[in-house]
Amino acid sequence: MRAWTCAAALGIGLLPAIATAAPVTDERLKNPEPENWLLLRGNYQGWMYSPLNEINTHNVRNLTPVWSYSTGVDSGHEAPPIVNDGVMYVTAPYDKLIALDAKTGDLIWEYQRELPEGFGALHNTKRGIALYGDKVYMAAQDAVVLAFDAMSGEIVWESPPVADWEEGYYMTLAPLIVNGKVMVGVSGGEFGIRGFIEAFDAESGQSVWKTYTIPGPGETGHDTWEGETWQRGGASVWMTGTYDPDTNLTFWGTGNGSPWFGDQRPGDNLYTSSTVAVDPDTGEIKGHFQYHWNDSWDWDEMNAPMVVDYQKDGQDVKGLIKVSRNGYLYWLERSSDAIHFVDATNYVKQDVFASIDAKTGRPTYHEDRKPGTGKYAEFCPSLWGGKDWPYEAYNPNTGLVYIPANDNHCGSLEGKDQEYVAGQWWTGVDIPDIGFTIDQDAKSYGEIQAWNVNTGEKEWTHLYPVMNWGSILTTGGGLVFNGGTNDRMFRAFDARTGEQLWQFKTNSGIMAPPSSFEVDGVQYISVVSGWGVDPAFQQGLINDLLGTDLVVPQGGVIWTFALSQ
């Protein structure tokens, strides 16, 4: 089930950098050094922020590529480069894992998993790895967790399957490691799965706890499901959580209900389209917030909120900031046993919510905008939302949250009864019948928006004439980096004003989150270019709507930049 290659086996020899990489401890994860990028989103709080400032607004125009490395595979590349003491780890589609010298781009080792015969996932992508101790951890698509020796790439342990891939379960997310627990969640919300999070002991690989995101009989929230609909109700967990060391809580986003149409599963349907606060030591759900009940628009709320403190009406708030797929930006409050609603505002056009309760955050709906079985409805934004999975960023120096948004697009759906068959598409609608429209008179679709977390005001917007599928990185040098457009560009902006300062055309479109690190006193910016999956599918729809024939080339390449000397 595996193929592994070490640089020494190729006659290259192990690189000195790997022998000096320090073990990744709990304290290092809580306080990552500026020169490293140890976590998926830079820190436990999910800020996508690097304090490094050698590259800044004054010299970013001198940024130039210093090395590149082809991953050797196509499809959508959605993982950031993770760096520890000069060693870089990147995952690529089809369960490929690559270790490189972060300064030179030279191969150290690589791993390519052989997936089971007949295996097929809805999304052939990988979203990253996790580091802990002397190991690298990856969630494989066929729903197993792998631990590798960080020095050699050899497999240390492999878990039994967390669920049966033949029933539609698979995994694309990066693990989250807290207090020695390796936590993962499952994809498969379009196949009638029951979502869950499972934790494994980092050293032994033994399962420690398993928590379902749809409550079963006798559990709080089970009464929000009717009959047996809870057994295949969705609420997948396909993006990595964030963590607050102060409360010792992890925060996870959950996906859509299954099937997509709420009249086929009456009730609020906890914990679909929610954030759940989970104790990493026990798996106990300590609190939750549901962004929209009885989801009927495929608006997954899979991204975990950022742990950000802010001010509201002159008062300090221990907060969570969530940029929601449903088109709203949420300010929440966290405590050791609850998540409370504080405020929300739409950041793109949204015509489904008639109102939001000021105390609870619960929306009421325009019923003519809610699709159902035999009921056609149009709604904005489309099922891809005001923002899909790409990460927003928070810069503590500016106090701004940067959102990779999409506006001026809408969708339509009409449900039907569909027989459940394990492992097969089960949404209540066929793919060709999913409606997607764009305002053809609009001058822009994709955006970067900058919002002040204390005032709730939008400070600036940069408009793209095309959709934006790129995560955002912000830095101590006062910069914002973003790809995500079909012109293959990687761009840098002034974090305070939104002025574009630099751009570079890569081999493909960029979906993956950028990261920044330092080796031997030199700051680098690194990103993986590689178009595919949802952006490629959406580009085909846009071509049909506009009568264009743009094709974005696929194929992954890791690009690493530094200032020219």
Q: Could you give the CA distance from residue 331 to residue 200 in angstroms, rounded to a whole number?
A: 32
Q: What is the DSSP letter of 28?
A: H
For 75, the token pair is 């499809």
Helix (H, G, I), strand (E, B) or coil at 71: coil
φ and ψ at residue 222, rounded to 5 degrees: -65, -30
According to DSSP, the β-strands at 274-278 and 249-253 are antiparallel
Say if residues 365 and 375 touch (Cβ distance below 8 Å): no
Say if residues 301 and 255 touch (Cβ distance below 8 Å): yes
φ and ψ at residue 539, rounded to 5 degrees: -60, -35
Question: Which distant-in-sequence residues (6+ apart) come within 8 Å of 117 by Cβ?
Answer: none
Question: What one-letter code names the amino acid at 393?
Answer: A
Spatial strand order of the sheet with 63-70 comes to 63-70, 557-563, 522-529, 515-519
Q: How far is CA 261 from CA 183, 278, 426, 432, 461, in A?
A: 30, 27, 11, 17, 34
Cis peptide before 212 (omega within 30 of 0): no
The length of the chain is 565
Say if residues 394 and 48 touch (Cβ distance below 8 Å): yes
Q: Could you give the CA distance from residue 532 to residue 513 in angstroms, rounded to a whole number?
A: 15
Query: Three-class SS string for 207-240?
Result: EEEEEECCCCCCCCCHHHCCCCHHHHCECCCCCC
Q: Which residues are catalytic?
A: 298
Q: Could you give the CA distance from residue 306 to residue 317 in angstroms, rounded to a whole number?
A: 14
Q: Could you give the CA distance from residue 535 to residue 76 in angstroms, rounded to a whole number?
A: 8
The helix (run of H) or strand (run of E) holding residue 400 is strand 400-406
Q: What is the CA radius of gyration of the chain?
A: 22
For 330, the token pair is 């949420």
For residue 227, the tally of other CB atoms under 10 A from its CB is: 9
Question: Which distant-in-sequence residues (6+ apart) come within 8 Å of 315 by Cβ?
Answer: none
